[in-house]
Amino acid sequence: MFRLGMAFCAVASLALAEGFTFTIASPVASQDFRSKTAAFVFRTEGCADPAKSQISGTAEGIVKGARRSVPLKVDAMSRPGVYAVYQTWSAEGEWVVNLKGTCTSENAGAVIPIGPKGFVRESSKFFPRPATAAEIEAALKALTHGGKQ
């Protein structure tokens, strides 16, 4: 039992050493019925008190050649540090989700491309800060210029 406790403490220490970040998953991963209609869910990691995290985001897209920005509906789930993102953006066009978060003095950011079948984990980018405008534009450009995700 002692070794298991030590292993858990070592893993927890490594997670905290890596800083505040996000991990994305399909809605079923939240184990919360309220997320069943979500586009995806994400969990905060590296935050000593997940309930104190401040999370926001936008969907950034290009529809018929015009740039769009739509506020996200991000709901906290029953487990601390777990959030669902609901599709507030149009089904038309190319989109990325831009997530921002803070936990005490640490920041996190992510740019998650949205493909025809939902979020694209393999092309998602995670940052120890909010994503820059250039990073968001690069992700959109990858979607709109033959890089269909």
* Tens-digit pLDDT profile for residues 76-115: 998 899 999 999 999 999 999 999 999 988 999 999 999 8
Number of domains in the chain: 1
CATH of the domain at 40: 2.60.40
In whole angstroms, how far apart are CA 59 and each of 2, 13, 105? 46, 33, 25
Q: What is the mean pLDDT of residues 10-19?
A: 49
Structure confidence by residue, pLDDT tens digits, 23-60: 999 888 888 888 888 999 999 999 988 888 899 999 99
Cross-strand partners of 23 = 43
Enclosing domain of residue 68: 2-144
Q: Is residue 27 part of a domain?
A: yes
Q: What is the pLDDT of residue 146?
A: 56
Q: What is the pTM of this model?
A: 0.82
Instruction: Tell which wins on pLDDT, 32 or 146.
Output: 32
The verdict on residue 19 lying in a domain is yes
Q: Quick one: which of 116, 109, 104, 68 has its CA closest to 88?
A: 68
Helices and strands, counts by H and E, the chain? 2, 10
Is position 16 within any domain?
yes
Q: Is residue 149 part of a domain?
A: no
